[in-house]
Structure 1
Amino acid sequence: MFGHKRRKSPPQVDWPRLKALLEDDDRRAAVERLYPDPGNESFLSALRRIEPNLAGDVVSLGRQVFHGARLAEYPTLAVAGMLNSGKTSLVAALLSRHGRRRTLRGVANRQGTHRFVLWLPQKWRDEPDLWQLLLDDFGDAVGHPPELLAEMPEEAHEQYNNRSGGVDALGVPLVATDPALDDLGIGLLDCPDIVSDEVFGVGSPERRRELLGKASTFCSAFLVVSTPSMARDRSLGDILQTISDLMPGIPRLLAVNKIRPGQSPEDVLESFEPQASKYGVERVYGAYDFELPKSEPFIPKSAKDGDQEFVIENSDEDPLPIFFSLSPQADENPPAEINCDRLLTHLTRELDRPESSDRFLLGRHAALRRAVWNRGLSAVEEDAEKSLRLTLRARQTLLDTTINLFTKQTTGGAITEVRMHQSERIVRQLADAFCDAAPWYARWGVRINTFIQGRTKAATDLFKQYVPTAMAERYAESIKEKFKAKKVGQLVSPEELEISLRRFGAALTLPHWFDGQNDPVDGAAWNQAMHDVLRSFEENDRVVFDSEQLRNVAEEMWRQIPRHKKLAFGLTPLAAMLAAFGSVLMLPVDFGATVLVANASIVELLAAAGLTAFSAYWAGGKTAQTLSTQAAVEQMSMFYVLLCHQIGIDPGTPLPSIRIKQSNVLFPTPNVKVASDGRARATLAVYRMNSTFRQELNGILPRESKHA
């Protein structure tokens, strides 16, 4: 303005655009939710989940930046002068009717301004957080938190005049807002009377000048109000010198109030020229004394803006001075018509924003940048990384549990043999295959076992054409007891499943169930989950052997048995074999309503039946081993996935692999169905950062500020 280059605005943050990115839960979402419900999660949604208060801070700071960017562009005009020079009347001329009543105007010290009063556009109050920050910023600048100017005129007048505050109250600034300043787009700093003597008890001139210097960063320009008689007054020179010393580089203006009709505008301008030139005053405004009737021709009633003419309103009940810039050319001053840009009310279009605005905006930008990048994004990224770390730990616990229940291992953890769930499908396949492949002499004496038939229909249906005599019943009972004594296979009950999970650190690796405690937070839900795992596994396990390969293995095994060979118990090999199979199906009957999964390797079952030749063949035969390993791994994969589902853990993609002897075997993806009400009662969510989010964010809110 006034021949000075306008200060370059700091880079602005486009808050609506940034907010759209932070709320995007589609293509530009910050987070990808992998489990339990795959989808995208916006930055703010993730932050509300992790740190709700911080999410609120980000939104609040964004609003401050958005509204602050517009409000901070409003310049602030500091108005100062000597005692009763009419400066507050000038301020009042720019305010609404209610605002005028709150100002203190008069001709005695009792009507003088003895406090700093910052008048701001009413819009500042629309954002409470922004308003409070501005108050804090202003208080920091002058060294004391501000006090709000009372709404009631009488109380406001007492504050203005510092009637009860004394010397100390001088340093406590007053702040007020007015809607008329919204339209003008300007703030006003009504300064104390700089030259008031200390004898008034409201602060020395030195103290006032000190405070004026502190408030200077809030000023875009300084307007000194004078009267025609002060053209050569030393006090005016002192004020201008003080302003020049305290605010170098800030435009200085002069407003001459109460000009009498006998003085022409150009004469007044000429009389103030020496002081204006000496102290760098860039423009002189004037206002004629409205109390004198002869001033009427020199008080503008209208002004032109291009082809349009605007009426200048001035209340007859409470008239105020109308200031216009003085021209050295008589025909450019009233009573001649003037343009709108000559009016003091149009000064806002030429003023730059104050230094404090840049500082305020840069501070809000920095705070938003820290909240989004340093705190918010770091929290979201750490949460995603943590979710993956916790999930990997939890998966390992569930995988170790699955391996423990479905394999035999060395003390070092190496898998020596895989165990199968001896489901009805598997047992039926084995029984059918060995019976169909058995020579005629091996089937002698095989008939229905009425003992088993009476105890379980499932066993009866399966073995009504195979199960041996009462001698085999005792044989089957002995094998069954070996299962119970853990000498053969593995009986997996809900209790055994929990023991295995705890053995592999469930209390530490399943925080969504244990929450740092030794026992589950919801014991009933945890116990139900153990039952649901086994129940869903029983319902889903449809794994069977490859029929052709199983038939070939069965035929080859029979060829290994000498003709008419009997066992010590007096049973044929087939009878002993079927007794072993029957013992497995009889196990759930002994445990009543308890869900039970019986796991055993074929080698274990054949050995328990005393069929050492069969057992040795199965253990050493490549085809037999491949057959059982393939089926067992399918079952293990299914159990692992269902265990993950019921415990609320993402099983992962791809599924894990296990090492069997010298080979790594990858779990195949099982085909499982879970009841509609089978969702886990507690889940450990998994999140992953969107790789493009950082780039998108940096394009809108650069991590490093050029003004840092």
Structure 2
Amino acid sequence: MFPLRRSTKDSSVDWPALLSLLEDDDRRAAVSRIAPSEGRESYLTALRRIETAQSQATLAAGRRLHTASKLIDRPTIAVSGMLNSGKTSLVSSFLSEAGQRRTLRGTSNRHGTHRFVLWLPQSWRSDVELWSLLITRIGDSLGNAPEELSLDPDIAAEQYNNRDGDASLLSVPLLGTDPGLDEVGVGLLDCPDIVSDEEFGLGSPEQRRELLGRAATLCSAFLIVTGAESSRDTTLADLLRIASDLMPGVPRMLAVNKVRPRQTPDQVHETFAPLVQKYGVGTLYAAYDFDVPSSRPFIPAFGDQHPQRDAISAQESDLQREDDPDPLPVFFSVSEDPDSNPPAAIDEDRLLQALPSKLDRGVLFSQLHQALRINLEDAVWNQGLESIRRDADQSFEKTRQCQQVLLDSALEYFAHRKIGGEVIELRLHQSERIIRQLSESFAATAPWYARWGVRLNATLRRVVGGAGDFIRNLTPTAVSRRAADDIKGRFRSGEYGGLIEPTGLINEIERHGGTTVLTHLAETSDHTSASEDGVSAFREPVERAVLRFEQDDFTTLDPRRLDTAVRQMWSEVPVHRKIATGLTPLAALFATFGAVLMIPVDLGANAILAASIPEMLAAAGLTIMSTMWAANRGTQDVSQQAARQQLADFLAVLCDELGVARPDPPMDVRVGNVDVTLPPSRIASGEPPERMVSLYRVRDEFIAELKRLLPRPTGASKRVGGSPAESGVMR
């Protein structure tokens, strides 16, 4: 009667062991937290951070599967259906007269069922342990502990109908027991329809669909009630799909109520056959409309014990009293063969009333257990883990975007570009350390003609002393000082190099989308926008970054390669080459170096210069030397290696101060037609700032252990490793 779709794999799941894995925040933790501080998170901790409701649903799914075996002899059938289809009437047909009076039947909204009502055999209360387990399962499924259905029919009717209009009560099930169910030994879940209007304040159709799906996990079988005219109704298809998708393998039955005599049982079978086949319905039932006298031949009757037969007789003889209960529908299984259906005689076991006695508890449990396992797999893998993975992917993507904004902003200073925007070369941070190296190398390798007019005393040769002394040694004459001032103006105007100072850098960060991407800096600790105070949120961290880079940049050029490159360049310079100012090449170079060192003196420590060696030579008026240096691959390599290191260090410091994880593996920069990978930063990272972009990663160790304890659902995505979003962000 109920086909069992058996799984080829072992369906047993060790829930305590699986729960231990989901709670582990150490060796088997699900998530590595990379930023703001390194650490690990358990599966459940991460899921609570991302989606609290899903973490609760995962735990509930595990508990349902773990406790299912204890309820093998206590199956429950869900009775759902269309609006005014007679769901409660069908449920009432299994109850005692006292239980029937506690139900609510009718076609008006005042008589509608607007709560989930679970009817259980009264005898089940005697087993305290199992009863407590049942109550827990009900709460796990719908999210709230059940409310007792009143023994007073009037109060019970108000509860059924939710006449207080409290939509939140939709998720609080009513629980009633009845001795009429003791003999059949099954529970019945009377479900509200899923099409009632939200305007009544009794829950939207979407909310009802969601709750129906959650309630379905309580049940070992699904019985859907519909009217004869609803074969093409999309709502009926939705109900069947919910039953099929959420509880796969659990038996599904379709009961067609209020069939008119003009439609014979075999025609009913033909009409609903497409739905039966599409959604795997095991049995199709039909009940004819007892309000139509000509329906009587199609209503089976077996002796006087069936009140429906008496109800028809009383109705036909006009002897039925007004206070008698309404007659109840008589459902029977429909056969494709016309001769096997009423008005021909049928066996009593074809009645829906006989269903509980025919249920194979072992088969039902096997199907329910398999469905609950699939639900747990879906909750853990497809819902929970995907939420965690999606959150990790988003954190990597967010971090990558932030890093790209900061790199693009840094390149506005560290990249020497053509007019079209192509990067020709990377610029050096012209620190005092670099200037001293350049001065010493150019002085030590300069030919006699280049030194004319330059006093190379021992102090300069050793390149020692403070910055002030160094500047005076580089610009000893009034002519050289005037030249240095002129060159300094060229650097400050942006004609050569890039002058890095906080205000300009902030403007570049904002121009490259920093206000949109670096949103974690948008609010201050008291949750007010920094921009409301007239101060950019980037001001303080950018100032710290520039100052820190100036202090911690210890990058130097390779002395041997530098001397070789400078000596080669000197050898190719014309002997009598002079410049317009009357300075020799070496004097002009020293004036340029002095101009660079004057910039932080004039503008403060938060102003530094990034310029390539060809730009420095051009600023000195040594255009031939500039062209020669730029054209020689060997000389270019000397400075580009250091420039890449400085750019990587500056980017790392920007990331540190603006609350972004450092790039790991390092990012690429396109120079000319080649993608150049930046080296790892040599500047040590400090304490993470108060506001920082979080960065998470799903751990492969957790995935491997999860596969062992809860094998991945058949047909699920095979994605188990790191996300593509992680590339270029963090290793």
TM-score normalized by the length of structure 1: 0.59
| Cα deviation digits, residues 233-258 of structure 1 (max 9, x gap) | xxxxxxxx989955547669xxxxxx
Opposite residue 118 of structure 1, the aligned amino acid is P
Contact 1:420 1:600 in 2 (8 A): yes
Partner of 2:710: 700
Contact 2:330 2:351 in 1 (8 A): no
Establish whether residue 578 from structure 1 lines up as the match of residue 578 from structure 2: no
* 1:658 match: secondary structure: strand
Establish whether residue 21 from structure 1 lines up as the match of residue 21 from structure 2: yes
- 1:394 and 1:481 mapped to 2: Cα distance? 33
Partner of 1:122: 128
| Cα deviation digits, residues 518-568 of structure 1 (max 9, x gap) | x97896542222112212221221111111222233334444456676543
Contact 1:634 1:670 in 2 (8 A): yes
Establish whether residue 461 from structure 1 lines up as the match of residue 481 from structure 2: no
Partner of 1:380: 388
Partner of 1:489: 497
Opposite residue 389 of structure 2, the aligned amino acid is E
By how many angstroms is 1:128 displaced? 5.4
Opposite residue 639 of structure 1, the aligned amino acid is F
> How many residues were matched structurally?
502
Contact 1:525 1:681 in 2 (8 A): no
Question: In 2 relative to 1, CA 149–628 (structure 1 residues): closer, same or farther, beyond 3 Å?
Answer: closer
Opposite residue 397 of structure 2, the aligned amino acid is R
Opposite residue 644 of structure 2, the aligned amino acid is V
Question: In 2 relative to 1, CA 458–520 (structure 1 residues): closer, same or farther, beyond 3 Å?
Answer: farther
* 2:538 match: secondary structure: helix
Pairing partner for 2:138 from 124, 131, 135: 131
Mean alpha-carbon deviation: is it higher for 47-56 or for 35-44? 35-44
Partner of 1:639: 650
- 2:397 and 2:157 mapped to 1: Cα distance? 62
- 2:392 and 2:155 mapped to 1: Cα distance? 61
By how many angstroms is 1:132 displaced? 4.4
| Cα deviation digits, residues 323-372 of structure 1 (max 9, x gap) | xxxxxxxxxxxxxxxxxxxxxxxxxxxx9859886776666545444433
Question: In 2 relative to 1, CA 692–125 (structure 1 residues): closer, same or farther, beyond 3 Å?
Answer: closer
Contact 1:68 1:361 in 2 (8 A): yes
Question: In 2 relative to 1, CA 490–14 (structure 1 residues): closer, same or farther, beyond 3 Å?
Answer: same
By how many angstroms is 1:487 displaced? 0.6
Q: Map 1:431-510 to 2 at 5 A.
A: 431-439=439-447, 442=451, 444=453, 446=455, 458-510=466-518
Opposite residue 468 of structure 1, the aligned amino acid is P
Opposite residue 131 of structure 1, the aligned amino acid is I
- 2:473 and 2:507 mapped to 1: Cα distance? 39
- 1:373 and 1:37 mapped to 2: Cα distance? 27
- 2:543 and 2:120 mapped to 1: Cα distance? 74
Opposite residue 405 of structure 1, the aligned amino acid is Y
Contact 1:494 1:531 in 2 (8 A): yes
Establish whether residue 540 from structure 1 lines up as the match of residue 552 from structure 2: yes
* 1:681 match: secondary structure: coil
| Cα deviation digits, residues 11-69 of structure 1 (max 9, x gap) | 45432233223233445444444544455443323322221221122123322333344
By how many angstroms is 1:586 displaced? 0.9
| Cα deviation digits, residues 239-292 of structure 1 (max 9, x gap) | xx989955547669xxxxxxxxxxxxxxxxxxxxxxxxxxxxxxxxxxxxxxxx
Establish whether residue 175 from structure 1 lines up as the match of residue 167 from structure 2: no
Establish whether residue 404 from structure 1 lines up as the match of residue 412 from structure 2: yes
Larger radius of gyration: 1
Establish whether residue 690 from structure 1 lines up as the match of residue 700 from structure 2: yes
Q: Map 1:414-429 to 2 at 5 A.
A: 414-429=422-437
* 1:654 match: secondary structure: coil
* 1:598 match: secondary structure: strand
Q: Map 1:513-662 to 2 at 5 A.
A: 513=521, 525-560=537-572, 566-592=578-604, 595-662=606-673
| Cα deviation digits, residues 163-192 of structure 1 (max 9, x gap) | 9989x99xx9973599xx9xxxx9999xxx
Opposite residue 66 of structure 1, the aligned amino acid is H
Opposite residue 475 of structure 2, the aligned amino acid is V
Question: In 2 relative to 1, CA 620–163 (structure 1 residues): closer, same or farther, beyond 3 Å?
Answer: closer
Contact 1:646 1:681 in 2 (8 A): no
* 2:494 match: secondary structure: coil
- 1:413 and 1:651 mapped to 2: Cα distance? 26
| Cα deviation digits, residues 108-131 of structure 1 (max 9, x gap) | x9x999778733343444675523
Opposite residue 467 of structure 1, the aligned amino acid is T
Question: In 2 relative to 1, CA 610–18 (structure 1 residues): closer, same or farther, beyond 3 Å?
Answer: same
Partner of 1:79: none
- 2:142 and 2:492 mapped to 1: Cα distance? 78
- 2:705 and 2:555 mapped to 1: Cα distance? 48
Question: In 2 relative to 1, CA 654–133 (structure 1 residues): closer, same or farther, beyond 3 Å?
Answer: closer
- 2:99 and 2:694 mapped to 1: Cα distance? 69
Contact 2:395 2:696 in 1 (8 A): yes
Question: In 2 relative to 1, CA 358–484 (structure 1 residues): closer, same or farther, beyond 3 Å?
Answer: same
5+ residue gaps, structure 2 = 1-5, 77-96, 103-118, 162-172, 189-303, 312-319, 334-346, 458-464, 524-528, 716-731
* 1:408 match: secondary structure: strand
Q: CA RMSD in A?
A: 4.9
Establish whether residue 148 from structure 1 lines up as the match of residue 158 from structure 2: no
Partner of 2:67: 67
Contact 2:374 2:713 in 1 (8 A): no
- 1:563 and 1:393 mapped to 2: Cα distance? 52
Opposite residue 60 of structure 2, the aligned amino acid is S
Establish whether residue 48 from structure 1 lines up as the match of residue 48 from structure 2: yes
5+ residue gaps, structure 1 = 1-7, 77-108, 138-144, 151-155, 215-240, 253-350, 449-456
Contact 1:553 1:623 in 2 (8 A): yes
Question: In 2 relative to 1, CA 464–666 (structure 1 residues): closer, same or farther, beyond 3 Å?
Answer: same
- 2:707 and 2:496 mapped to 1: Cα distance? 61
- 2:480 and 2:175 mapped to 1: Cα distance? 103
Question: Identity, % of aligned pairs?
Answer: 32
Opposite residue 551 of structure 1, the aligned amino acid is D
Contact 1:650 1:686 in 2 (8 A): no
- 2:147 and 2:651 mapped to 1: Cα distance? 67
